[in-house]
C-alpha cells in the first residue's frame, strides 16, 4: 500500500495531506484528511511536538498559543504518523460525515471590517443615494466595528429571525426583520496576545495569526438602516455571526498568496507593508440548492496585514482567540457580490432560485452555505470548512 493510501484522499475535495485543517470535537483537537476525521488527542503515543493538554482542550486557543514553530512541528508529525494505518490511528479516526464539530476557538474579541471597495460602493449607493457612496475616510483606513463575541456561532447553528425597530412606510415599527441578509466573509484567528500600548505592523501578521475561517455576518438590513447613524451597526448585526468549524492553518496558505490591489492614495506609514500580499480565495454562496454568487477574495482593497495593524495602532492589544473578519467580499461583477442587498438592489430586483421561487431577502427555512477554495501548497485544490446556517422563524 502506498503512503497515505488508506485515507482514500480525493485530491479534488480539497483536504489533501498538505492542508490539515484543525477543529474541535467531543474528544478535543481533530484534523481532517480527505473524508476522514483524526482525533489528535488519542495519538499520545505518536505526537510529541505539543503537550497532551493542548490536544485535549475544548478549543484551539491553547494549541495556537504555542506558536508557529509548534504548529509546523505538529503538521510534520501528522504527515509522518498517517503514512500507514496503525491500530492506534484507526481507533482515532472516523468518517467526516459523522463529525459533530464545535466552535473551534473561544472567541475573545470580534472585529468586522469593511474592506471591499466594490461592496462599500454598492451599499453606499443604496444607503446614501444622493451622496458620495464612500465615507471620506474609506480609502485612508480600514473601517471596522467592534462586534459581539458571544454570538459568534459554529457552522450549523440555526439562526432565529431577529426583531427590532425600523421604518416601514412613514412609521417606526417594532417587528421581525423583513430584510434578513447574509454577508460572505473571510475571518482570521489571532494566536497570541500583544502588549497594550504597542501597535503591530502589517509585516507581523504571520507572527500573530494562526489560521483562516469562513464567516457569515448575518445582517438585518431594515434594523441596520434605521439605527446605524451615527455610531454604526448594532442590533442589525449583533444577533448572530456564523463561523466555519475547521481552521485552515496559515502555513497551508503560502501557495495562495498574490499581489494585492493598488491603493490610491498611498496609505499612512503605519499601514505600509514592505512585502504586501493578498490571498487568492474563491468563495461560493448558495441559498438552498442555488448558487447565487462567487465572490473573489483577492479583490479586497485592504489586506489582512493592514487590518491587524489598524486594529492596534491606537495601542489596543489583541489576545489569543480574537477573530477579525474581512467584511463582505464582493467583486466588480453582479455575480461576484457577497450579500443579498447587493444582489437584489435592496429587494427591488428579486433573484430566482432553481425551484422557481424568488428572493428579495431570506425566507424562513432558507439554508445559506458559504464555501471557498484556493491553491494548496502542492498546487492542487484546497477547500475551506463550509459555514452553513438555516433561518428559523422569529420567536
pLDDT digits (tens, 9 = 90+) for 188-227: 999 999 999 999 999 999 999 999 999 999 999 999 999 9
Q: What is the pLDDT of residues 111-140, one digit of tens each?
A: 999 999 999 999 999 988 889 999 999 999
Known binding residues are 112, 114, 128, 183, 185, 217, 224, 228, 237, 241, 328
Residue 84 confidence class, pLDDT cut points 50, 70, 90: confident
Could you give the C-alpha distances from 216 to 101, 204, 285, 333, in angstroms and in order?
17, 26, 10, 20
Among candidates 334, 203, 215, which has minimal Cα distance to 281? 215
Percent of the chain whose pLDDT exceeds 90: 91
Known binding residues for substrate are 114, 128, 224, 228, 328
Among candidates 374, 300, 377, which has minimal Cα distance to 336? 300
Phi-psi region for residue 338, left (φ > 0), alpha (ψ -120 to 50) or beta?
alpha
pLDDT for position 4: 79
State the CB neighbour count (10 A cutoff) for residue 65.
Answer: 17
Q: What is the pLDDT of residues 4-24, one digit of tens each?
A: 777 877 777 899 999 999 999
Please name every residue paired with 29 in a beta bridge, in sequence order, or none if there are none. Answer: 24
Residue 144 confidence class, pLDDT cut points 50, 70, 90: very high
- Read off the pTM: 0.97
Task: Round the average pLDDT of the chain to a whole number and report it.
Answer: 96
pLDDT for position 44: 84
pLDDT for position 8: 78
As annotated, the active-site residues are 119
Q: Domains in the chain, ordered, with CATH?
A: 5-98 (2.30.30.230), 110-392 (3.90.850.10)
Amino acid at each position: 500500500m502506498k503512503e497515505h493510501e488508506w485515507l482514500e484522499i480525493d485530491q479534488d475535495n480539497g483536504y489533501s495531506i498538505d492542508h490539515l485543517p484543525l477543529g474541535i470535537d467531543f474528544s478535543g483537537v481533530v484534523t481532517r484528511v480527505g473524508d476522514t476525521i483524526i482525533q489528535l488527542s488519542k495519538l499520545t503515543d505518536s505526537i510529541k511536538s505539543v503537550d497532551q493538554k493542548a490536544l485535549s482542550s475544548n478549543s484551539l486557543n491553547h494549541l495556537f498559543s504555542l506558536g508557529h514553530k509548534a504548529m509546523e512541528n505538529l503538521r510534520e508529525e501528522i504527515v509522518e504518523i498517517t503514512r500507514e494505518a496503525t491500530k492506534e490511528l484507526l481507533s482515532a479516526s472516523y468518517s467526516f460525515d459523522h463529525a459533530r464539530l464545535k466552535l473551534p476557538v473561544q472567541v475573545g474579541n470580534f472585529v468586522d471590517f469593511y474592506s471591499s471597495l466594490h461592496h462599500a460602493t454598492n451599499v453606499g449607493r443604496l444607503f446614501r443615494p444622493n451622496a458620495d457612496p464612500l465615507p471620506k475616510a474609506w480609502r485612508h483606513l480600514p473601517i471596522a466595528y467592534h462586534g459581539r463575541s458571544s454570538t459568534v456561532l459554529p457552522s450549523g447553528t440555526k439562526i432565529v429571525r431577529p426583531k427590532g425597530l425600523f421604518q416601514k412606510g412613514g412609521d417606526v415599527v417594532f417587528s421581525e426583520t423583513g430584510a434578513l441578509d447574509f454577508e460572505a466573509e473571510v475571518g482570521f484567528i489571532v494566536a497570541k496576545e500583544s502588549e497594550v500600548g504597542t501597535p503591530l505592523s502589517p509585516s507581523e501578521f504571520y507572527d500573530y495569526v494562526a489560521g483562516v475561517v469562513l464567516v457569515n455576518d448575518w445582517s438585518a438590513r431594515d434594523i441596520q438602516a434605521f439605527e446605524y447613524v451615527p455610531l454604526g451597526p448594532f442590533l442589525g448585526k449583533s444577533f448572530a455571526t456564523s463561523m466555519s468549524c475547521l481552521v485552515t492553518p496559515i502555513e497551508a496558505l503560502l501557495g495562495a498568496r498574490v499581489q494585492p490591489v493598488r491603493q490610491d492614495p498611498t496609505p499612512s506609514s503605519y499601514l505600509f507593508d514592505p512585502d504586501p500580499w493578498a490571498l487568492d480565495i474563491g468563495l461560493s454562496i448558495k441559498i438552498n440548492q442555488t448558487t447565487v454568487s462567487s465572490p473573489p477574495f483577492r479583490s479586497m482593497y485592504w489586506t489582512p496585514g493592514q487590518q491587524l495593524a489598524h486594529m492596534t495602532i491606537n495601542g489596543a492589544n489583541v489576545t489569543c482567540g480574537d477573530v477579525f473578519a474581512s467584511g463582505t467580499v464582493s467583486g466588480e461583477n453582479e455575480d461576484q457580490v457577497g450579500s443579498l442587498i447587493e444582489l437584489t438592489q435592496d429587494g427591488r430586483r428579486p433573484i430566482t432560485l432553481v425551484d422557481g421561487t424568488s428572493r428579495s431577502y431570506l425566507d424562513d427555512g432558507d439554508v445559506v452555505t458559504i464555501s471557498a477554495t484556493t491553491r494548496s501548497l502542492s498546487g492542487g485544490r484546497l477547500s475551506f470548512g463550509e459555514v452553513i446556517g438555516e433561518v428559523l422563524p422569529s420567536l
